[in-house]
Structure 1
Amino acid sequence: MPPNVRRTTLADIAQRAGVSVATVSKVVNGRGDVAPQTRARVQELLHQHDYLAPVFRHTEALESPTIEVQFQGDLKSYVAKALEGIIDSAAEAGASVVISKASRAPHWARDLVSAGRRALIAVTSVYTAAHLKELARVGLPLVVLDPLHLPDSQVNSVGATNFSGGLAATRHLLSLGHRRVAYLGGPAMAVCNQARMHGYRAAMEAEGAPVPDAYIRPGEFTYETGLLGAAALLELEEPPTAIFTGNDEIALGVIETARARGLRVPEDLSVVGFDDTDLAQMASPPLTTVRQPLREMGGAALRTALRLANGDKVESHHIELATELVVRASTAPPGEEASARK
C-alpha cells in the first residue's frame, strides 16, 4: 500500500454499511450473532475496500501462528499421512493448523489473511498463475506439498525422489528375472507420475528390456485405474509378468483384477506400488512398494511455511526427500506359467 494512502478502518466500513463498528467487528471475527443480510452487506464492503484485519497486532499471534492446509479430492491414506506429519511438526513448533478443502471462492486468499492465516500449505492442490498472483497480492506465503504439476520456479515446494523410486522399483523386478514389466500410473502430465515413469524407462533401457507402447498406461491415482488398467494389460497378446504402479491404490486394483482372473500374486504376477501407505501392509499379499516419506514431507512443508511466515529466507525453493524400496510379499521371480502365458 502506498505510504500516503489511508488504510480502510472498521469505522469506514460501518459508516458505509449503516451499522455499528461492533457489528462489523463481529463479521470480521466470524461471530454468529449477525443477521445474514447484514453479514453479506458488510462482507461485500470489506472485499470492495480490500480490508485486511490487523491479525498480527498481538504478541500471542506471532508466537502461535496459524497455517492453513488445503487439499483437493477425498481424504485418502496418502493425504492423511502427509497431514499427520504437518500436525505433529506444528505441535512441536507451537503453531496451529487449520485443515480445509481447497476453495476458489472470490477473494479466497484475502479471506485467509483476514482469518489470521500466516501461510498456506497445499497438498495435491493445483494452483494456476491467477491463484499465485492472488496469494502474492495479499502477501500469503505458499508451500506446495508433492506438486501434481511443475510449479513456478519461485513457488516453494516439497517432494520426493520419484525418479529414483521408479528406478529402484523396476530394477527390483528386473533383478528377480522379469523382462515383461509394465508401468500403470497416474495422470500423464502429473510431474510425479512422469518422474516415476521415466525411472521405470531408464531401468528397462539400461537392462535392454523391451518397452512396448502398450506397457505404459496413464490413468488416475485410484483403485479403479488399477482394476481397468490391469485388465487391459493382461489382455495383451504378450502380457506383462510384473506391473509397477504409480501408487498403492492402483496396485490394490491390479491385485484384485489378477485374483478375479484366477492369477496368483506373486506366483503368476508380481506387483509393486508407490507411497507405502497403510494400504500396502494391509494388502493380501502385503505389497512391495516404494516408500515415499509422507510424514517427513509434511513436516518439511510445515517448517518451510513457518520460516516464510516469519519473513525468513529458505535455502531452496524445492526440497526432495529420499524414497526407499520396501520389499514384501507381492513380488517374486516369474514362474514358468507366467513366463509362458500369452
Structure 2
Amino acid sequence: MTAESPETSDRVTLATIASEAGVSVSTVSKVLNGRSDVSTDTKERVEAVMDHLGYQRRPARRRGAVIDLVLNELDSLWSVEIIRGVDEVLHAAGASMVLSAVHGRSSATREWIDQLAARRSHGAILVVSELTPQQRRRLTALDVPFVLLDPVGSIDALVPTVGATNWAGAVSATEHLIELGHTRIAHLAGPRHVLCSRARADGFRAAMEQAELPIPEHWVPHGEFNDTSGRAEMARLLDDAEAAGEAPPTAVFAASDLQALGAFEELRARGLGIPAQTSLVGFDDLPVARWTHPALTTVRQPLLDMASMAARTLLRIIDGEHADTLRLELATRLVVRGSTAPPAPAVR
C-alpha cells in the first residue's frame, strides 16, 4: 500500500465516500450530522466506507481553521464592508482570515493559489473574482472548498455562490424615478463583463421599457465601480447633451454608490442642483451614502449579510455538511433620501 492510497489519504472527500457507498453526497452529509432520516443499513454502509478510507470527521476543523478571503482590491468602502462581514463570522467560529488582493490580474490569482497550497488553507471566499476552469480544477485537486461572493463571470452550477437581487434592485430604483415624474433618465452602468453590472443595466432597461420611455444608447455609458469613473461618465453625458443641443437627463441611476458620488462631484462643479435639477440614485447603500448633502437615495445591497452568509456557508462545507442551495440571492431594498425629487417644471 502506498502513501497515496485511499486508505491512508487525509484528502478523502464526501464525493469519494458517496461513490464507494453507492449513495448521494447529501446522504453522506446526513450520516455525518446524525440525521434520523437515513436507514440503518445505509448508515452502516456509509460508516464502513468511511472507516475503510480512513476518513476523519471534520466538525472541529472550523476552530483554528485558516480561511482565505480574496478580493480585487482592499482599499474601497465596498471591500471594507465585505471584510467586516466575513471577519465577524470567522472570529466567532475561532477561525482566522488571510486577505489577498488580485487587482483583476490572472497572474496574481495563480500566485494566491500557490500561497494557499503552501499554507494549507482550509477554504476560500472569492469576491468579485473570475474563477477559470483551470483554477477551479486546481482548488478541487487541493481539496479546498470555496464560495464565490458576488461572482463576476459565468457561474458553474456546482459552485456555491452568494449574491443579491441586482435586477430587482435596479428596477425599483428606476421605477422610483419614473413615479416621481422623470422621463429623461440615464444610467451610469458598471463594467460590461461583470454579472451584477449587467443585471443592474438590464433592470434599468426593463423598467424604462415597461414605462415606454426612450433609452438613448449614449445615456447608458459603461465604466468602473468608482468615483473617478462616475464623474467621467457624468461629464460625458452632460457634454454630449450640450454638443447635440439637447436637454440633459433630469435623473441618473448609478450602478454603485461610488459612481453616484463621482456624479455628485461633477454636477456640483457645474452648478447643477441635486435634486433641484438632477435627481440621483446609487446602489449599495455604503455608510457614506448617508453623509452626502443631500443624503443619497440608493438601493441597499446587504453587503454585511452577504459576506456573513458566504462565511457561514464555507464553514458548513468545511464541517462536511452538504449545501442544500448552491445559489443564494439576498434581497435588495430601495432607501429613499434627499437626492431624488420630482423634475423641475420646464422653462417656457
Corresponding residue number in structure 1 for 2:188: 184
Measure the CA separation in 1 of the matches of 2:277 and 2:111: 55
Measure the CA separation in 2 of the matches of 1:271 and 1:261: 15
> Cα–Cα, structure 1 residues 340 and 131, in superposed 2: closer, same or farther, change >3 Å?
farther
Measure the CA separation in 2 of the matches of 1:331 and 1:155: 39
Measure the CA separation in 2 of the matches of 1:221 and 1:272: 14
Tell me by how many angstroms 1:179 deviates. 0.5
- Amino acid of the residue matched to residue 82 of structure 2? A
Measure the CA separation in 1 of the matches of 2:192 and 2:109: 28
Corresponding residue number in structure 2 for 1:3: 5
Please say if 1:174 is aligned against 2:178. Answer: yes
Measure the CA separation in 1 of the matches of 2:208 and 2:344: 20
Query: Given that residues 118 and 141 in structure 1 are in contact (C-alpha distance below 8 angstroms), is that contact kept between their aligned partners in structure 2?
Result: yes
TM-score by length of 2: 0.78
Corresponding residue number in structure 1 for 2:52: none
Measure the CA separation in 1 of the matches of 2:109 and 2:299: 37
- The unaligned stretches of length 5 or more in structure 2 are 10-55
Please say if 1:257 is aligned against 2:266. Answer: yes
Corresponding residue number in structure 1 for 2:333: 324
SS at match of 1:69: strand
The size of the alignment, in residue pairs, is 291
Corresponding residue number in structure 2 for 1:197: 201
Q: Residues 188-267 of structure 1 correspond to what in structure 2 (within 5 A)? A: 188-235=192-239, 236=241, 237-267=246-276
Corresponding residue number in structure 1 for 2:63: 63
Measure the CA separation in 2 of the matches of 1:59 and 1:182: 51
Query: Given that residues 85 and 299 in structure 1 are in contact (C-alpha distance below 8 angstroms), is that contact kept between their aligned partners in structure 2?
Result: yes
SS at match of 1:210: coil
Query: Given that residues 66 and 119 in structure 1 are in contact (C-alpha distance below 8 angstroms), is that contact kept between their aligned partners in structure 2?
Result: yes
Please say if 1:134 is aligned against 2:138. Answer: yes
Q: Render the CA deviation track for 1:44-73: whole Å, top value 9, x for unaligned.
A: xxxxxxxxxxxx999975533221111112
Measure the CA separation in 1 of the matches of 2:300 and 2:132: 29
Please say if 1:117 is aligned against 2:121. Answer: yes
Query: Given that residues 146 and 157 in structure 1 are in contact (C-alpha distance below 8 angstroms), is that contact kept between their aligned partners in structure 2?
Result: yes
> Which of residues 304, 312, 324 is equivalent to 2:313?
304
> Cα–Cα, structure 1 residues 65 and 204, in superposed 2: closer, same or farther, change >3 Å?
same
Measure the CA separation in 2 of the matches of 1:57 and 1:111: 26
> Cα–Cα, structure 1 residues 3 and 110, in superposed 2: closer, same or farther, change >3 Å?
farther
SS at match of 1:244: strand
CA RMSD, aligned part only? 2.4
Tell me by how many angstroms 1:263 deviates. 0.4
- Amino acid of the residue matched to residue 68 of structure 2? E
Q: Is the deviation greater in 293-302 or in 236-245?
A: 236-245
- Amino acid of the residue matched to residue 66 of structure 1? V
Measure the CA separation in 1 of the matches of 2:138 and 2:6: 23
- The unaligned stretches of length 5 or more in structure 1 are 8-55
- Amino acid of the residue matched to residue 90 of structure 2? A
Q: Is the deviation greater in 152-161 or in 267-276?
A: 152-161
Q: Is the deviation greater in 141-150 or in 271-280?
A: 141-150
Query: Given that residues 222 and 249 in structure 1 are in contact (C-alpha distance below 8 angstroms), is that contact kept between their aligned partners in structure 2?
Result: yes
Corresponding residue number in structure 2 for 1:97: 97
SS at match of 1:117: coil
- Amino acid of the residue matched to residue 265 of structure 2? E
> Which of residues 262, 265, 273 is equivalent to 2:282?
273
Runs of at least 4 residues off by over 6 Å: 4-7, 56-60
- Amino acid of the residue matched to residue 307 of structure 1? R
Query: Given that residues 109 and 140 in structure 1 are in contact (C-alpha distance below 8 angstroms), is that contact kept between their aligned partners in structure 2?
Result: no
- Amino acid of the residue matched to residue 201 of structure 1? R
Corresponding residue number in structure 1 for 2:147: 143
Tell me by how many angstroms 1:204 deviates. 0.8
TM-score by length of 1: 0.79
> Cα–Cα, structure 1 residues 4 and 87, in superposed 2: closer, same or farther, change >3 Å?
closer
Query: Given that residues 109 and 138 in structure 1 are in contact (C-alpha distance below 8 angstroms), is that contact kept between their aligned partners in structure 2?
Result: no
Q: Is the deviation greater in 107-116 or in 164-173?
A: 107-116
Tell me by how many angstroms 1:107 deviates. 6.6
Tell me by how many angstroms 1:216 deviates. 0.9
Measure the CA separation in 2 of the matches of 1:134 and 1:177: 53
